[in-house]
């Protein structure tokens, strides 16, 4: 009996440690890759609920929201062609904090965690947020300007430097682009 319990625990730990269904890496987010078609989403997320902005008969068309079994949004999938259910993926907005990179980065990470793991490639100053891209990664993040020091929060024309963004700034949106 003890041996059976030990085997069950080891099996669970092995499965949990090797679960790539929530891994974000350089070519995929969980089961999604650049070559994934919109029509494949129901099969890839069989235990989840999918809601498309538009439907064409039984086909998903346009951006697709994916919700877990409890009704929590996991991500929004954006196709290359909004009108084609056979379109491949263009980019994703990852919302579920369970999706993380091998370094533990995900939607619930802070700017400091991203900055300490990846080299910042660029910072774009938008009206209500800053958009930050990283070298050698397919993802980028946005940070609400409310997270920034007040002296740069309202200046839409200034060039924002990495040192001006607080390490503890929370991620507003986490995007993955192919």
In sequence order, the 6+-apart residues with CB closer than 8 A to the CB of 157 are: 125
Q: What is the mean pLDDT of the chain?
A: 88
For the chain, residues with pLDDT lower than 50 are: 4-18
Task: Say if 14 falls within a structural domain.
Answer: no
Q: What is the pTM of this model?
A: 0.84
Cα separation, 138 vs 121, in Å, equals 11
Task: Say if 8 falls within a structural domain.
Answer: no
Give the end of a domain, one of 75, 96, 117: 96
Domain count along the chain? 2
The per-residue pLDDT for 96 is 97
The per-residue pLDDT for 56 is 65
List the domain range (segments joined by +) for residue 155. Answer: 101-177
**Do residue 87 and residue 137 come from a single domain?**
no
Q: Residue 70 to residues 16, 42, 45, 56, 128: CA-CA distances in angstroms?
A: 20, 17, 14, 26, 31
Task: Say if 27 falls within a structural domain.
Answer: no
Contact 24, 99 (CB under 8 A): yes
Give the end of a domain, one of 96, 115, 149: 96
pLDDT tens for 151-174 read 899 888 889 999 999 999 999 999
- Strand boundaries in 27-88, DSSP class E: 28-29, 32-33, 49-56, 59-67, 73-79
**Do residue 80 and residue 120 come from a single domain?**
no
**Do residue 114 and residue 49 come from a single domain?**
no
The per-residue pLDDT for 145 is 96
The per-residue pLDDT for 54 is 67
The per-residue pLDDT for 36 is 96
Task: Say if 125 falls within a structural domain.
Answer: yes
**Do residue 83 and residue 148 come from a single domain?**
no
Task: Say if 131 falls within a structural domain.
Answer: yes
The per-residue pLDDT for 53 is 75
**Do residue 113 and residue 85 come from a single domain?**
no
Give the end of a domain, one of 96, 126, 149: 96
Task: Say if 10 falls within a structural domain.
Answer: no
**Do residue 125 and residue 58 come from a single domain?**
no
Task: Say if 25 falls within a structural domain.
Answer: no
The per-residue pLDDT for 11 is 45
């Amino acid at each position: 009996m003890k041996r059976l319990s030990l085997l069950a625990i080891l099996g669970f730990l092995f499965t949990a440690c090797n679960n790539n269904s929530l891994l974000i890496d350089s070519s995929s987010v969980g089961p999604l890759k650049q070559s994934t078609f919109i029509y494949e989403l129901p099969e890839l997320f069989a235990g989840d609920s999918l809601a498309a902005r538009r439907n064409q008969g039984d086909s998903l068309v346009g951006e697709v929201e994916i919700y877990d079994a409890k009704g929590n949004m996991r991500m929004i999938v954006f196709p290359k062609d909004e009108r084609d259910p056979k379109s491949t993926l263009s980019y994703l907005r990852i919302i579920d904090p369970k999706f993380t990179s091998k370094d533990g980065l995900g939607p619930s990470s802070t700017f400091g965690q991203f900055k300490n793991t990846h080299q910042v490639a660029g910072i774009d100053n938008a009206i209500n947020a800053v958009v930050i891209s990283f070298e050698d990664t397919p993802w980028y993040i946005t940070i609400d300007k409310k997270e920034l020091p007040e002296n740069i929060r309202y200046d839409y024309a200034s060039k924002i430097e990495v040192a001006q963004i607080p390490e503890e700034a929370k991620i507003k949106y986490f995007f993955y682009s192919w």
